[in-house]
Structure 1
Amino acid sequence: MSPTEVLVLDPKARDRVAEDRELRSRGPVARVDLLGLEAWAVSHPDYLKRLLTDNRVSKDSRRHYPDFEQTVQRWPLWLWIAVENMFTAYGADHRALRRLVGPAFNHRRTQAMRPVIQDITDRLLTRMLAKQEAGDLVDLRADFAHQLPMDVIHHLMGMPRQWQESMADPVAKVFDTSLDIAAALQNGEDLKALLARFVEHKRAHPGDDLTTDLIHARDGERRLSEEQLVDTLLLVFTAGYETTVGLIVNTHRNLLTHPRQLDIVRRNPKEATVAAVQETLRRDASIAFLPLRYATEPIDLPEADVRIEKGEPILAAYSAAGRHPDIFDQPDVFDVLRPNASTHLAFGHGTHLCLGAPLAVAEAEIATRSFLNAFPDAVLAVEEHQLTPVESIISNSLRELPITRRGDKHTRKAT
């Protein structure tokens, strides 16, 4: 395949919608350049579901990616394929690791977390209201969407307050695809070292939390290695944080820029908020591209005129799939009444379906209903075209979402 046929993905994601449209125009499965690494990007939902449930597709880079050793030494996203946890496990190894973490995110635990989520949400909204009353500009991302998932994850993991601030920056950098290889390598090493120190802290101060459960599985039952223990914590923190931040930001952005849809939600906040969150997941998946999977043997896709050779990387293109016109009518339109919005693949599909999806959705629904109640006259403080995306091939969100009251200075024009 000639270089002109490979779509080079923008590491700064300056126009995600246009890039996804171009990717879809190249067929359901197309070649892309992901920070210097070529892969097959799958953008059609039907093909994506097929490959995500195909036993010939693995996430274990050590076993099934021939270029693993060279790649982790030169690729800025090395951490995404080098960790040893259920994210990169395959077959029986994946099932065993998933069973260790699964109970923390089952339906009963998620329901039990709702009062905790509501308490954190109320505290953050009270602080935001005070900030607004003082005349300061409120940034819904920094003041709300960033803090809520972090506090929830810290609660689940039993992380004391003094540890929390040190986690925020290195976790965010895992998704920053503008970092060079040296900075990415250093950040990954720093984050794993920080989590290793946290494990030692929890060994000395156990509690009723997921970290203590994982330490017991390591020290008592020997069901995972020390490396897997640290990398599993890394997975929970990164996956539980960034996807939910993006979901909260994107949901509020969609509502504040679509007054008629916002009115539907205000008139029926219980059911319509659920619909708004699902439509946001469909239209603006928090994770645009998720690296990587690998073919364990040649895979022929004759309908797409594609043959994926053994060992070739596969990239799930979730944001492109969410707006595919073959599946969704008028896919760029935000419509909380869309009947098939919940068929999105924003949390993956098959054996690697995100364990924390129900918790993330619960956080977004509680956050949205509570925010609209606390800020009934909220509008964007800037014009929509002034909003800037997070510089990341992986994350699909905004760097900030400034809000103000309707009629205040710098209020955006109503549409």
Structure 2
Amino acid sequence: MQCPYSGATASAEPIVIDPMVGDLDGETSRLVTAGPVARVELLGVPAWSVTHHEVARELLTDTRLVKDMNAWRLWTEGIVTYEWPLITMIDAGRSMFTVDGAEHRRLRAKVAQALTPRRLESIRADVETFTRQLLDDVEAAGRDNSIVDLKTCFAQPLPMQVVSFLLHVPRDKQPWLAESYKKFFSMITPHDERIALLAELDTWYMEFIAERKAAPGEDVLSDLILADAGGRPLDDEEILGNLKALIAAGHETTINLVLSATRGLLTHPEQLELVLDGKVSWETVIEEALRQDPPSTHLLMRFATEDIQIGDVTVPKGDGVVMSYRAICRDPRQHGDNAEEFDITRQAPIRHMAFGHGPHICPGAALSRLEASIALPALFERFPDLRLAVAPEELRNLPVMTQNDLESFPVFLRN
């Protein structure tokens, strides 16, 4: 691999990724400084973190990095076992997210066949309806100038309603799914509870799949079951893996995007004014929010099938490699000296990798952008005087190592 950073050297001590996410900005800055490839420690397990844009572009298309856990030395030697709390985020069943090459293309084709641009455009009016209804709930919660948690009332339920609408998930199951994934990703959930939770989810998913197999409809799950792209149809394990990934990623990503964009605008009122005056587009707001404060912090994990040289650093065969998207998206070599700042006036187009790059680029990116493009202007049109109810530095992340997940987002709707 030709690396543009010929002077890259490994840091002397690994950066310990904080499971409690106590200082995400500080951790991100340390990773960028230590990059382009930094030694890290994830709950006691060593790995490499990719933290610079150009190197990430190279590695995300490098066939020497694979998703197959059997290429991971720590796994095959029994050093990492199912007792490691992050193992369930790597060994997530067979889906387009966990395989490479021809099998990845086959599984991804099924999802692409189900999530066509026409399908997404056809739900625009439904997303607008969900948005209006939730903003009514927000308004009711904020009567008498009460503090409203915008995450709980708006940013969280909207994407769950949308992905559930696409899959025909019953409304009474949606809060349970949202709470289940919150517990799954949290680092304070005991590992045995996480394993039990996954088993409970899998049982429900398989019942859900069986019902849809018996009576297919006009929905994305039925399309996954019936899809004929890429040769043979999906088997039950593949349907299950893709379904779980679609629901998890399909709502978590948009929660974080809506809140990141809202925080950026509320903490930069002069930029909000540019948007409300029509001088800067909502599309630009969305792309800058994705870049400056992306939904994913660390994507676990790829494995080197041979030694990979990056400047003066050698990632040995069998080692694990993490894509640290928050650091990648704040690389000053790509985004300028103010890469850490939210700035919708930066030079366009804003080229970032918040949704990945290469064969595994997020297939739900268009859905997330569609939801944000409806939710954000509707939010600020309804509540033009929206403001944070706490100082920006008081906003806290949940103890989630892989997503940029705020604990809450308290606001006042009016002055």
Using structure 2 for the length normalisation, give the TM-score.
0.92
Q: Which residue of structure 2 lines up, in the alignment, with residue 273 of structure 1?
A: 282
Counterpart of 2:50, as a letter, is V
Change (3 A) 1:322 1:147: same
> Is 1:286–2:295 an aligned residue pair?
yes
Counterpart of 1:293, as a letter, is R
Q: Deviations over 1:140-185 (max 9, x none)?
A: 1010000010001001111121322221111223322333322322
Q: Which residue of structure 2 lines up, in the alignment, with residue 118 of structure 1?
A: 128
Q: Which residue of structure 2 lines up, in the alignment, with residue 79 of structure 1?
A: 88
> Which of 346, 362, 365 is 1:354 aligned to?
362
8 Å CA contact retained: 2:145, 2:412? no
What is the CA–CA distance in structure 1 between the aligned matches of 2:283 and 2:226, rounded to whole Å?
37
> Is 1:133–2:143 an aligned residue pair?
yes
Q: Which residue of structure 2 lines up, in the alignment, with residue 30 of structure 1?
A: 38
What is the CA–CA distance in structure 2 between the aligned matches of 1:374 and 1:308, rounded to whole Å?
51
What is the CA–CA distance in structure 1 between the aligned matches of 2:356 and 2:188, rounded to whole Å?
24
Q: Which residue of structure 2 lines up, in the alignment, with residue 297 of structure 1?
A: 306
Q: Which residue of structure 1 lines up, in the alignment, with residue 332 of structure 2?
A: 325
For residue 47 of structure 2, give the secondary structure of its aligned residue in structure 1: strand
For residue 321 of structure 2, give the secondary structure of its aligned residue in structure 1: strand
8 Å CA contact retained: 1:171, 1:191? no
What is the CA–CA distance in structure 2 between the aligned matches of 1:75 and 1:341, rounded to whole Å?
41
8 Å CA contact retained: 2:64, 2:305? yes
Unpaired runs of 5+ in structure 2? 1-8
Moved more, 290-299 or 156-165: 156-165
> Is 1:50–2:55 an aligned residue pair?
no
Change (3 A) 1:36 1:175: same
Q: Deviations over 1:61-94 (max 9, x none)?
A: 24x2244364351221222221210101111110
> Which of 391, 398, 401 is 1:383 aligned to?
391
What is the CA–CA distance in structure 1 between the aligned matches of 2:391 and 2:38, rounded to whole Å?
35
Q: CA deviation at 1:132?
A: 1.6
Q: CA deviation at 1:266?
A: 0.8
> Which of 61, 65, 68 is 2:72 aligned to?
65
> Is 1:91–2:101 an aligned residue pair?
yes
> Which of 369, 385, 389 is 2:377 aligned to?
369
Change (3 A) 1:340 1:293: farther
Q: Which residue of structure 1 lines up, in the alignment, with residue 182 of structure 2?
A: 172
What is the CA–CA distance in structure 2 between the aligned matches of 1:142 and 1:205, rounded to whole Å?
34
Q: Deviations over 1:197-240 (max 9, x none)?
A: 2212323443111111223359xx85222222111110001111
For residue 124 of structure 1, give the secondary structure of its aligned residue in structure 2: helix
> Is 1:309–2:309 an aligned residue pair?
no
> Which of 28, 35, 44 is 1:20 aligned to?
28
8 Å CA contact retained: 1:279, 1:334? yes
Q: CA deviation at 1:105?
A: 2.5
8 Å CA contact retained: 1:8, 1:33? yes
What is the CA–CA distance in structure 2 between the aligned matches of 1:242 and 1:164, rounded to whole Å?
13
What is the CA–CA distance in structure 2 between the aligned matches of 1:110 and 1:337, rounded to whole Å?
29
For residue 90 of structure 2, give the secondary structure of its aligned residue in structure 1: helix
Identity %: 35
Q: Which residue of structure 1 lines up, in the alignment, with residue 239 of structure 2?
A: 229
Q: Which residue of structure 1 lines up, in the alignment, with residue 402 of structure 2?
A: 394
8 Å CA contact retained: 2:305, 2:317? yes
What is the CA–CA distance in structure 1 between the aligned matches of 2:10 and 2:284, rounded to whole Å?
43
What is the CA–CA distance in structure 2 between the aligned matches of 1:406 and 1:145, rounded to whole Å?
18
For residue 40 of structure 1, give the secondary structure of its aligned residue in structure 2: strand
For residue 376 of structure 1, give the secondary structure of its aligned residue in structure 2: coil
Counterpart of 1:299, as a letter, is I
Counterpart of 1:60, as a letter, is D
Q: Which residue of structure 1 lines up, in the alignment, with residue 6 of structure 2?
A: none
Q: CA deviation at 1:134?
A: 5.5
> Which of 235, 242, 257 is 1:247 aligned to?
257
Q: CA deviation at 1:294?
A: 0.8
What is the aligned residue count?
A: 401
What is the CA–CA distance in structure 2 between the aligned matches of 1:72 and 1:205, rounded to whole Å?
40
What is the CA–CA distance in structure 2 between the aligned matches of 1:90 and 1:140, rounded to whole Å?
38
8 Å CA contact retained: 2:10, 2:38? no
Counterpart of 1:294, as a letter, is F
What is the CA–CA distance in structure 1 between the aligned matches of 2:405 and 2:10, rounded to whole Å?
32
8 Å CA contact retained: 1:348, 1:354? yes
What is the CA–CA distance in structure 1 between the aligned matches of 2:10 and 2:188, rounded to whole Å?
26
Counterpart of 1:130, as a letter, is A
Q: Which residue of structure 2 lines up, in the alignment, with residue 334 of structure 1?
A: 342
What is the CA–CA distance in structure 1 between the aligned matches of 2:365 and 2:273, rounded to whole Å?
27
Counterpart of 1:296, as a letter, is T
Change (3 A) 1:205 1:164: farther
Q: CA deviation at 1:354?
A: 0.4
Q: CA deviation at 1:2?
A: 11
> Is 1:211–2:221 an aligned residue pair?
yes
- Could you say what the CA RMSD is over the residues aligned between the two structures, in angstroms? 2.0
Q: CA deviation at 1:340?
A: 4.2
For residue 333 of structure 2, give the secondary structure of its aligned residue in structure 1: coil
Using structure 1 for the length normalisation, give the TM-score.
0.92
